[in-house]
Structure 1
Amino acid sequence: MKLPGLLLALSLTSTAQAQSAVLTTDTLLLTPRRSVDGQLIQPFSARYTMLMRREGQEKPVGSVATSYEYLTRPQQGLALKRSVISFPTGTIVDSGTVDRRTLYPRAHRSHQPNSRTLTLDFAGARVTGFNQVGPQRTAVDLTTPAALFDSFSADLVVLALPLRAGQPFKFAQYVYEKGGQDWVRGRIVGAQPLPAPDGKSSRPAWVVQTFGADKSTVTYWLDAPTRRLLQVEFVRPGRELIMRLAE
């Protein structure tokens, strides 16, 4: 499941400093021939606390344990991302294989507490697989004009963007719930301190934002030297969800 999809899940279950700081108006369009540098992301394992914010008050609603590792055959150049998303009502287990250099997907598997299983395989511009809920299985077979990123790995794409303050960008991803291709548009905001939860301190961070057609905004706070996610905020009218790194 993609990270912005956590909002949907909740509703269903009740290198050093900046590479450049030059403002630009040309949108960076990510394609298989002009992708991000996925090799900026090193293997990691992290745990995040999920909180719902309403009227300034935060309430824990779950957790996310995620990891990223290089697969054992270097000649394949693949990496594996795993996420376990825990709610009081159940657990979602996701895994996705990507090209380590471009972050374009090879496979995605998702198991959810409502007896749903999503299996996707990616081969260039073609996506195949199935979505199964209980005994009902729906086939997936889609060919698009160009290869798509997998929405499950959209956060990896954000982490591997060039750190250029003011840089707008967009890329196409596959989202089963939206019928296939979905465009992500965003902007690299730049360096901003991330306030501690108690408001008494802060830490250096870079901010990247993406914007949805449903008036949602996702704000990513990342540590530039390590390309690690520190915090993610999902905001849409009437709801705010925070995913905060557990120190």
Structure 2
Amino acid sequence: MSSTAKVWFVTGASRGLGRAFAEAALSAGARVVAAARDVEPLAELAERYPEDLLRIPLDVSDRAAVFEAVDKAAAAFGRLDVVVNNAGGLLYGMVEESTEEQIRAHLDVNFFGAVWVAQAVIPHLRARGGGRLLQITTMGSASAGGVACVGFYGAGKAALDSVSEALAMEVEQFGIKVTIVQMGGYSTGLFTVGTTVAEADPAYDTLRARLLEMWGDDAGPDPRTAAPVVMELAEMPDPPRRLIVGSRSFDLVQEWDRARDEQYRAWESLSRRAPG
């Protein structure tokens, strides 16, 4: 192992985007700490990179376990350079249909879990004089706002966007660069193994059918096609605060931005009646 090789810490690394990012980093000569609830799917990768890959079982919703895992990762390879805050899942259900338990469990992973990782890695990055923190969110939180049936997924990612903006301002003084990576739709298994489904209320059947028709059957491109963009992002000396990953997604976000601006302008006179 080269002492100059960068050390990546990737959560949700056993499948989908996390797996793609971990593999790309290893292929580029980096050392990778791959964290996931189930690390067994990474066995083949560990055989290929026995000296450069460390697998750590981790449930990011457990704050104490996150801090322990991060300390273990930093001790194993001497430091951390690039952190990819990727772990997450999907809660599929209308707002009314979703139970308190489902909502809290979902946000425990998608929002609070990401916060725990950020809190745990910042002291390590600050101690070494800088580093990269890539906050994996979604293009849907860029401009679209909430979308029916996946409202809590969007809410968690939008909250992470907001906190990440604040975090970026706070840690910039330490040489730590934070980028909100707003991913487009990729074939990650999020809608299958990563999904919690609320009990369907027949009152929403018509809307649900319309949504399924709108979304179609296309699972999206292979996550590995997004990895080169993230690799380049991690190497930039002055990376953007936000980046949309996906050509089609970029166009969609631009459309949403224009539509939202038109809506604001349509009601500008009413907005301006208040002095605040």
**With structure 1 as the length reference, what TM-score do the two structures score?**
0.29
Q: Which structure has more strand as a fraction of its residues?
A: 1
Q: Which structure has more helix as a fraction of its residues?
A: 2
| Larger-gyration structure (1/2) | 2
